[in-house]
Amino acid sequence: MQALLSVTPGGPETLELTTLPDPTPARGEILVRVRAAGVNFPDTLMIRDLYQIKPPRPFAPGGEIAGEVLSVGEGVADFAPGDRVLALTGHGGFATHLTLKSSTAVKIPDAMPFEDAACFIFTYGTSYHALKDRANLQAGETVLILGAAGGVGSAAIELAKAMGARVIAAVSSEHKATFCQELGADETLIYPRELDRAAQKALSARIKALAGGDGADVVYDAVGGDYAEPALRSIAWGGRYLVVGFPAGIPSIPLNLPLLKGCQITGVFWGASVFRDPAGHARNMQELFRLYGQRKLAPRISARFPLTRAAEAIGLLDRREARGKVVVTMGDM
Ligand SMILES: NC(=O)c1ccc[n+]([C@@H]2O[C@H](COP(=O)([O-])OP(=O)(O)OC[C@H]3O[C@@H](n4cnc5c(N)ncnc54)[C@H](OP(=O)(O)O)[C@@H]3O)[C@@H](O)[C@H]2O)c1
């Protein structure tokens, strides 16, 4: 098998393509021939030892995969060789083969290509949990999405539209704004790549003008940093502010703001929710597959890289250049 391994902490240039012996599945595990792996922001952090989970080295990044089952370990009854699956792996996905606990794999619909399947669970799982379980988003409400052209952000646009909401997509370039319009965003706004105090005030005013009324009912914040406070200042009375991610840094928020807005600041930790509420997660996955079957969701894959060039895939996210999803494909390697 081949794997792109992180051998020392650092950027994508530190990853090394390595040939390793094929693994065998232990009891309760399945061996998967990986066909595609989705790229996500945590991959950029994990290889630098900046993520909350630090796998022992050497490890391959790649938190979600799709492929076919090659063999099953002792005690596995619900999968058989040939089954097409997707899985949330945490890491290890940038490889041609992978063993994983059978409980973490999900069979995929026949009509779902491996590339779509590898770009499905992480972004749609997170954004559905955020908008449905954490924000209780209602039809007719207005959602502001920060970082709306990224992986979880673009999934949030599609899901919020499918749930009947009005979407304001906030991004850092014209190019990304056009992409969000194509996904169904009702309004777009472009914020600067760096914000000073005046730019923060201008951003707040712009959001309020686009949201109308009191402000946005729900803020989906996948960016953090200096963008968080102006977004919170533009939330409606009784709004829900979803804390999703911090590519721009972890913000500090003056606690008078939630008091003045009568709003909730709500943490979203999808990975933990999957383990704490497996039944709720399974329900959400079935609903997401149904929406995919109805073509209300479709992962927007804007760039594809073979495993030999997977480091470049991580570089796109690093440089804030990715739109929608970036995927690594293994083909017949
Ligand atoms: N809470 C959870 O359960 C959960 C689950 C999944 C992911 N996440 C988090 O959600 C965030 C987004 O993940 P993703 O996979 O969707 O990433 P992504 O595709 O790279 O999108 C991140 C977006 O953040 C914006 N951004 C702002 N400042 C940035 C910077 N300094 N570097 C890079 N991007 C920057 C970029 O949009 P603009 O250029 O338009 O600003 C970019 O499109 C990450 O922090 C990730 O860890 C959280």
Structure tokens belonging to residue 195: 């914000």
Average pLDDT, integer, range 1-14: 98
Q: Which atom of ligand 1 is nearest to the CA of 154?
A: 16
Mutate which of 41, 219, 246, 268 to test ligand 1's pocket (most atoms within 8 Å of Cβ)?
A: 41
Residue nearest to atom 18 of ligand 1 (CA): 150
Residue 213 has pLDDT above 90, yes or no: no
Q: What is the DSSP letter of 60?
A: -
Residue 296 has pLDDT above 80, yes or no: yes
Residue 32 has pLDDT above 80, yes or no: yes
* Per-residue pLDDT, 331: 77
Mean pLDDT of the chain: 96
Q: Which atom of ligand 1 is nearest to the CA of 39?
A: 15
The phi and psi torsions of 26 (rounded to 5 degrees) equal -80, 180
* Per-residue pLDDT, 169: 98
275 by DSSP, 3-state: which? Answer: helix
Phi-psi region of 235 (alpha: psi -120 to 50; beta: other; left: phi over 0): beta
- Tell me how long the chain is: 333
Contacts of 217 (CB under 8 A, 6+ apart): 137, 138, 141, 142, 143, 235, 236, 238, 239, 240
- pTM, whole model, 2 decimals? 0.96
Mutate which of 64, 223, 276 to test ligand 1's pocket (most atoms within 8 Å of Cβ)?
A: 223
Residue 332 has pLDDT above 80, yes or no: no
CA of 222 to the centre of ligand 1 (A): 5
Q: Which atom of ligand 1 is nearest to the CA of 126?
A: 5
Mutate which of 88, 129, 145, 152 to test ligand 1's pocket (most atoms within 8 Å of Cβ)?
A: 152
Structure tokens belonging to residue 45: 């952090």
Q: Cβ distance 64 to 38 under 8 Å?
A: yes
The full set of domains in the chain, from first to last, is: 2-120+299-329 (3.90.180.10), 123-269 (3.40.50.720)
Average pLDDT, integer, range 67-79: 97
Average pLDDT, integer, range 27-45: 97
Average pLDDT, integer, range 307-322: 96
The rounded percent of the chain whose pLDDT value lies above 90 is 96
Structure tokens belonging to residue 305: 């890289």
Q: Residue 271's closest CA among 115, 72, 46, 60?
A: 46
* Other CB atoms within 10 A of residue 165 CB: 22
* Other CB atoms within 10 A of residue 166 CB: 20
* Per-residue pLDDT, 333: 65
End-to-end CA, the chain: 9
* Per-residue pLDDT, 38: 98
* Per-residue pLDDT, 161: 98
Over residues 90-105, the pLDDT tens digits come to: 999 999 999 999 999 9
Q: Is 310 in the pocket of ligand 1 (CB under 6 A)?
A: no
Alpha carbons within 13 angstroms on the beta-carbon side of residue 24 total: 4
Task: Name the residue type at position 296.
Answer: K
Residue with tokens 């073979």: 306
Over residues 223-275, the pLDDT tens digits come to: 999 999 999 999 999 999 999 999 999 999 999 999 999 999 999 999 999 99
Average pLDDT, integer, range 294-303: 95
Q: Which atom of ligand 1 is nearest to the CA of 326?
A: 19
The rounded percent of the chain whose pLDDT value lies above 70 is 99
Over residues 92-144, the pLDDT tens digits come to: 999 999 999 999 999 999 999 999 999 999 999 999 999 999 999 999 999 99
Structure confidence at residue 203 as a pLDDT band (50, 70, 90): very high
